[in-house]
Amino acid sequence: MRALVTSGPTREPVDDVRYVSNVSTGSLGTAIAEAFLAAGHDVVLCHGAGSKRPPPSDRLTLFEFTTARSLLDALLAEASGAGSGPRPDLLIHAAAVADYAPVPVTGKIKSTEPELVLRMTPTPKVVDRLRETAPELPIVVFKLESGLAREELHARARRTMERVGAVAVVANLVEEVGPRGHRADLLRADGTAVPWDGREEIARGLVDEAERIVATRRVES
């Protein structure tokens, strides 16, 4: 299997020296990539600038992205087969992509102003754009929310899954993600759900799920 994995944050420029980003470290995406490698699969990891990444491997290809646009460009190339190698068998989209980006200013904004007001515009919807170009590519998306009951978290995650035509979604809450633990639920398109507790369990579970998805599609084709 050739797995395409995204990980870490985007960086959206404010000016030539500043950017806005988020708290993602890429730790989970790295764990996912390492789990696929340990299972004997090839991995293309698109990771955010400055985020964690696995040690080198003959079966690992790394691509560093900065903005949502650069991530989208990399995914479109990989999905079409014009990237680093053969088309991937599926995408695990764990990157934390900014929803909005500042309208960038050329040069450096002066630091003497009493306040700085940024005008933000929407970034490209990465998975939606990718789905238009690669309609047959199985995609597992992540949905991160905060302050919700689990029922509402699942409801929002399923709406995202249906909107982008994903085969599954990993639903989690900010309050349950941290260095000491990570709780998440895998929600499948068929309505079933699998609870996971811990980064390693999530990573291994995604490998099992990916193997099941790819094997099923190969039989059906």
pLDDT tens string 93-138? 999 999 999 998 999 999 998 999 999 999 999 999 999 999 999 9
Q: Where are the domains of the chain?
A: 2-102+119-220
Q: Give the 3-state secondary structure of residue 34.
A: helix
What was the pLDDT predicted at 65? Answer: 98
Q: Are 157 and 171 in contact (CB under 8 A)?
A: yes
User: Is the predicted pLDDT of residue 82 greater than 80, yes or no?
Assistant: yes
Provide the mean pLDDT of the chain: 95
Rounded average pLDDT over 188-207: 96
**φ and ψ at 40, to 5 degrees?**
90, 15
User: Is the predicted pLDDT of residue 218 greater than 90, yes or no?
Assistant: no
| Placement of tokens 């490209």 in the chain | 124
Report how far residue 217's alpha carbon sits from residue 60's, in angstroms, rounded to the nearest whole number. 24
What was the pLDDT predicted at 178? Answer: 80
What was the pLDDT predicted at 153? Answer: 97
User: Is the predicted pLDDT of residue 180 greater than 80, yes or no?
Assistant: no
Give CA 49 to chain center in angstroms.
14
User: Is the predicted pLDDT of residue 167 greater than 80, yes or no?
Assistant: yes
Q: Are 173 and 154 in contact (CB under 8 A)?
A: no
User: Is the predicted pLDDT of residue 221 greater than 80, yes or no?
Assistant: no
Question: What pLDDT band is residue 179 in, cutting at 50, 70 and 90?
Answer: confident
Report how far residue 50's alpha carbon sits from residue 5's, in angstroms, rounded to the nearest whole number. 16
CA 131 to each of CA 5, 79, 94, 173, 176: distance values in angstroms, whole numbers, following the listed order: 15, 10, 16, 25, 29
Rounded average pLDDT over 147-155: 96
What was the pLDDT predicted at 181? Answer: 83
What was the pLDDT predicted at 203? Answer: 98
How long, in residues, is the chain?
221
The amino acid occupying position 126 is: V
What was the pLDDT predicted at 69? Answer: 97
Question: What pLDDT band is residue 145 in, cutting at 50, 70 and 90?
Answer: very high
Report how far residue 21's alpha carbon sits from residue 202's, in angstroms, rounded to the nearest whole number. 24
Alpha helices in the chain (DSSP H): 27-38, 68-80, 126-133, 150-164, 199-220
Q: Does domain 2-102+119-220 have CATH number 3.40.50.10300?
A: yes
Higher local confidence (pLDDT), 221 or 48: 48
Give me the percent of the chain exceeding a pLDDT of 90: 91
90, two tokens? 């599926």
Q: Are 123 and 76 in contact (CB under 8 A)?
A: no
Q: Give the 3-state secondary structure of residue 65.
A: strand
